[in-house]
Structure 1
């Protein structure tokens, strides 16, 4: 290839790279120009994300996305996802934000930015009453169902020595496994575990122990400070005016702890 051809190729790559990074840097402006925001939401994680009898999206994460789009003055487009595809959807430009029970972890924080938390999530191990399980050590030799690529998957894989972690591709699969008796132990959120208890009272499911209390943030692409700043201001405002708490209580049956809200509102 001639020097002139190499120069042209380098110039083209530089131009494309500049356009790519500019597009990401101006995501907020692009959203306003398109009058639409694309939000990645898992609709198989009741009560955070689900569909109603008419197959329309609903749930606490969906309502948060609706409120955010309304306050931004744009239409909402839901980008359906499962746990493992939430971040790839954002990174590949299929979505502008993630509002999908995205708990903060050091590994995820390396590839996406998190907003100030908009809601809490209790992560636990639960199972049938007949099993004597009170800690990670008690899981040795036992099988535990989890949704692949979730914090429960990570916690159990790293800390439940000797346990057989059985991974499903989405929360719907985990719920079905527990409700139908395919799985006697599960690592999941308190909200999803409540759904399992309601669907299968005959299984006598009970909470065994808490894995962690997660802060759920809105996921934003790295190096997108303008959009992240807007989202953070929006989260603070809607904690202060009580709207995020109203959504949480509607679907989860309890208020966000007052001290947690005060901590988040005071966050930089």
Structure 2
């Protein structure tokens, strides 16, 4: 083979290799943010929504095997107004971003607190609830401050939550006892495995009211945040529809109705205006 033809062949092969490499890189990037557009969801006739199955009263499975709770009430209305059937997908706190990135769900409605770090990975819609952090412990040895924490004691947290992030950043010397599910975290507290449990204040207040012998010694730890639906990064058509839907629902006071139907038994009516955000407008 002549030298000129050999050089040309090498160039073609090299170009081909670069093209294949580029395709592979693009495929990996696309796979990370796999999603269905609004029109694709409508065409399929079903929407997949990620929710908790063990976080009463926000997302849980009742004795009949049916999903119930504040987030479920909202999810049902989304599907109704979209004109599609709904498929709830049980998720854990640490899996929420992954389930969106891989297209396993179209929306996450699992008490997803908005943070700058999460906003880099997913697209948040308008908020529908306020939330802070709280600390619950036994009445026999209540925790009212984290400033005099004993070195041998451990704090219960759920992996992938804002509570874990807050504790790691602000109290790095406190040992964390981490669990993947709310059920396991609750059991750890009941069994005395940890000194206290830090989580969303809504969750720990509900736990204290339904479990005599436990108290919320700290009901507002750190800054207050908001909870919002999340979609896969870049899914603008679905995001825009959800935002418009939240604004419209606010006009009919929908989220206060949701609270009345799903949260009043747990918190009483006095917390409604504190927790609920109508129409995406934070007061």
Say whether residues 1:180 and 2:191 are aligned partners.
yes
Of 184, 205, 217, the match for 2:228: 217
SS at match of 2:188: helix
SS at match of 1:146: strand
Change (3 A) 1:260 1:75: closer
Closer, same or farther: CA 4–164 of 1 in aligned 2, 3 Å: closer
| Partner in structure 2 of residue 65 of structure 1 | 75
Q: Distance in 1 between matches of 2:160 and 2:170?
A: 15
- Do the aligned residues in 1 keep the contact of 2:125 with 2:242 (CA within 8 Å)? yes
Q: Residue 193 of structure 1 corresponds to which residue in structure 2?
A: 204
The one of 86, 101, 112 aligned to 1:76 = 86
Q: CA deviation at 1:220?
A: 1.0
Gaps of 5+ in 1: none
Contact kept? 1:152, 1:187, Cα under 8 Å: yes
Instruction: From the superposition, tell whether residues 234 and 139 of structure 1 become closer, same or farther in structure 2 (CA, over 3 Å).
Output: farther
Partner of 1:134: 144
RMSD: 3.1
Encode CA deviations 1:239-264: one digit per residue, 9 max, x unaligned: 22111221123222245427973683
Residue number in structure 2 paired with 1:47: 57
Offset at 1:166? 0.7
Can you give the 5+ residue segments of structure 2 that lack an aligned partner in the other structure?
1-8
With 258-267 and 70-79 compared, the bigger mean Cα shift is at 258-267
Query: In structure 2, what is the equivalent of residue 252 of structure 1?
Result: 263
Counterparts of 1:137 and 1:93, CA distance in 2: 42
Task: Summarize the Cα distance change of 1:9–1:100 in structure 2 as closer, same or farther, 3 Å threshold.
Answer: same
How many Å apart are 1:122 and its aligned residue? 3.2
Q: Structure 1 48/151 Cα, relative in aligned 2: closer, same or farther at 3 Å?
A: same
Q: Does 1:108 align with 2:118?
A: yes
Taking structure 2 as the reference length, what is the TM-score of the superposition? 0.82
Please tell me whether residue 148 in structure 1 is matched to residue 164 in structure 2: no
1:99 pairs with 2:115: no
Moved more, 159-168 or 59-68: 159-168
Q: Distance in 2 between matches of 1:190 and 1:108?
A: 20
Q: CA deviation at 1:80?
A: 1.1
SS of the aligned residue for 1:94 comes to: coil
In structure 1, the residue matched to 2:127 is: 117
Distance 1:262 1:43 in 2: 25
1:231-246 pair list within 5 angstroms: 231-246=242-257
Are 2:26 and 1:10 aligned? no
Count of matched residue positions in the alignment of Structure 1 and Structure 2: 265
Inter-CA distance 167–72: structure 2 relative to 1 (3 Å threshold) = same
Flag the structure with larger Rg.
2
- Does the Cα contact within 8 Å between 2:127 and 2:277 map onto a contact in 1? no
TM-superposed CA distance for 1:29, in Å, is 1.1
Residue pair 1:147, 1:153 contacting (<8 A) in 2 also: yes
Per the alignment, in what secondary structure is the counterpart of residue 77 of structure 2?
helix
For residues 102 and 25 of structure 1, the distance between their equivalents in structure 2, rounded to whole angstroms, comes to 19
Structure 1 CA distance for aligned equivalents of residues 163 and 109 of structure 2: 18
Question: Does the 8 Å CA contact 2:157/2:163 hold for their aligned counterparts?
Answer: yes
Is the 2:93–2:160 Cα contact (8 Å) retained in structure 1? yes
Contact 1:121 1:189 in 2 (8 A): yes
Residue equivalent to 2:179 = 168
Contact 1:40 1:99 in 2 (8 A): yes
Secondary structure of 1:68 counterpart: helix
